[in-house]
Amino acid sequence: MQNIHKVVDFVTITNWLLLLSGGITGLMIAPEKFTLGIILGGLIVAVNFHLLKSTLKKMFNPELVLNRGHSLVFNIIVKYYIRFAVSAIIIYLLLSKQIVHPLGLVTGLSVVVASIFIAAAFELTKSFFKEAV
């Protein structure tokens, strides 16, 4: 149980580290709009991940699930769509006003996916070496 919670902590920390390293790399080698895209895209998904985490922590309480059952699914999905709409408005403004470069934004938005893949690779490597020993 503790190990599995460590994965989420690892993903959360890796999100911020990737965002920071992406931002610094962008500042050094990429144009201003591209870097702004990385930073703002990364911020959007990192904040989204935090909100998703807090929603699930609140909702996935065994007593609440036993009492309310599948109506909780509706609750979570409504919150998801609200979050998605807010992200959509922000991304719309960023792209339509041409504040950021689209490819930079896509790179920034990939921060959480990259963190999850890194966490998966890390866990796989760990289990592989455990079996080898």
Select the residue interacting with another protein from 24, 27, 77, 99 (CB under 8 A).
77
**Residue 121 within binding range of another protein, rule CB under 8 A:** no
Distance CA 5, CA 23 (A): 27
- The CA-based dihedral angle spanning residues 107, 114, 93, 32, taken in that order and rounded to the nearest 10 degrees: -40
Q: Is 118 in the site for another protein (CB under 8 A)?
A: no
Residue bearing tokens 């890796």: 14
**Token pair in block for residue 120:** 């998966």
3-class DSSP state for residue 98?
A: coil
Where on the chain is the footprint of another protein (CB under 8 A)? 1, 4-5, 7-8, 11, 44-45, 48-49, 52-53, 56-57, 60-62, 65-66, 69-70, 72-73, 76-77, 80-81, 84, 87-88, 91-92, 95-96, 98, 102, 105-106, 109-110, 112-113, 116
